[in-house]
Structure 1
């Protein structure tokens, strides 16, 4: 049995990960900003406060904490919150890790494929350099902060793609599709990095139980375009897919959020996971969407 300290347990991935850990018999200690019952511990990442004793005896620490990038618009103030919420939480955990009497065996900290920026026609592995853009800047700082714990424990930073779940990125796409106004976004040929929720959770468990360290891409093993994803969603919902949305209109309305979320074009490959023997539950975006729709019913 593992004892896992989990930050960000109330989010989409954190909720599913906590359930998976409990299901296999592990103990989960959730870090919360307000007391909410047994199995929780108070912390204050904005003030960099966490008792290092909370980590004594823990097998692992998983950091999924950070303000949602799905909240729009990205005003200058909210962009500062996106960065600060990630760096503050990660720095708080790293400080506690280094001060613990016995450091946990592994620290898994979230990142995102936004690290790579837009890179058309380029297959991206964990060795690929960072790109440009707001999310690239955020993830680079986020990862630098997490890797400071490498002096005392194994550190893995997980560069996750778009998690296909009805509570996540599919939610606004479902609303558009249900309303019959879905269609190609800026042509729709840009590749979107995707992963099923089941594989996101299983890959994190694989890292906790294994020896991987450094950056790890958590993305589906086959490429898919925006049209590929949205057309299949429309087909499953028996709704039309025809209304195009020009890229310039999205950029004018949403700025960096449009460039980093909807217009991004990248193909990160989960090289290190595959080389380490991880077997994907969902190997195509169609399978991931079907699973998400079944789960969302």
Structure 2
């Protein structure tokens, strides 16, 4: 297959490109600088530039572009970047897809990055893909992000990859590992809120599955099969580092220090169920958060 990937420089993007190439696919990555080889294609999401020729012969486009939400604090400028980077990148790809369709060319599958943040804080609920969007800054960002993807041509099979906390060697779990190393790990905001996690291996496998499975479309929750609380996730990280787990961080302190970022990223309760993935026959490699943490450390 020929797959075009936007956002290939991040942890997930790098792992996805490697996995696709390992299985024999031809992968071209979108870059904002001058291309340095035939497997790099220029684009400028900020201006909406993506030459439709870049998608010629592509079987799939995977868009993982977007400013990191883990860079704190969420200043007004940072909020604008978080939203704008996602919508602009998606709009550029969708524009190129329309140009291909208007020229009578086949339209590739679009696997568009998304996030479980769309559900907001939902204590006591089980959140499948059928659940309505919630409130909060991240929920609003994801709604706009997904709406941009859904503007793709009618012939496009669109998968909205609603990703949870990806447990890998980098990314969102890095601060937890740092706290653990210094012996400062403990419950965050009580720890009873559910964090929708997924191992990096399964995240990448699920994206590949979304490319391959012609029956998969619309929102797809990329979260592990066994829900885990924040306490269980952080405790697994501390245990893997052989460090104590004892120092609590009260919810009011997290909200005071981090504002919406603390409430959306650390305190939101989201018991997310990967219903669409499971129904499509996807097999998770790591079924518990402890397995995912051990794989990331290894």
The question of 1:9 aligning with 2:8 is answered yes
Could you give the per-residue CA deviations for residues 130-149 of structure 1, whole angstroms, max 9, x where no partner exists? 00000000000000110111
Say which of 122, 128, 133 aligns to 2:131: 128
Specify the alignment match of 1:108 in structure 2: 111
The question of 1:201 aligning with 2:200 is answered no
Alignment gaps of 5+ in structure 2: none
Following the alignment from structure 2 to structure 1, what is the Cα–Cα distance between the partners of residues 229 and 177?
A: 17
Say which of 237, 244, 250 aligns to 2:248: 244
TM-score (norm 1): 0.97
Task: Please list every run of at least 4 consecutive aligned residues from structure 1 whose deviation after the TM superposition is greater than 6 angstroms.
Answer: none
**Contact between 2:98 and 2:153, CA under 8 Å: does it hold in 1?**
no
Following the alignment from structure 2 to structure 1, what is the Cα–Cα distance between the partners of residues 137 and 3?
A: 31
TM-score (norm 2): 0.97
Q: Give matches, 1:47-62, under 5 Å.
A: 47-62=47-62
Taking structure 1 as reference, are residues 217 and 150 closer, same or farther at Cα in structure 2, changes over 3 Å only? Answer: farther
Could you give the per-residue CA deviations for residues 65-85 of structure 1, whole angstroms, max 9, x where no partner exists? 000001111101100100000
Could you give the per-residue CA deviations for residues 107-158 of structure 1, whole angstroms, max 9, x where no partner exists? 0000000000011111111111000000000000000110111413111101
The question of 1:268 aligning with 2:267 is answered no
Specify the alignment match of 2:165 in structure 1: 162
Alignment gaps of 5+ in structure 1: none
Q: Give matches, 1:16-165, under 5 Å.
A: 16-38=15-37, 39-100=39-100, 101=103, 102-165=105-168
Specify the alignment match of 1:277 in structure 2: 281
**Contact between 2:111 and 2:159, CA under 8 Å: does it hold in 1?**
yes
Say which of 177, 185, 188 aligns to 1:185: 188
- Name the Cα RMSD after superposition: 0.9
Q: What is the Cα deviation at residue 250 of structure 1?
A: 1.0
SS in 1 for 2:194: coil
**Contact between 1:55 and 1:103, CA under 8 Å: does it hold in 2?**
no
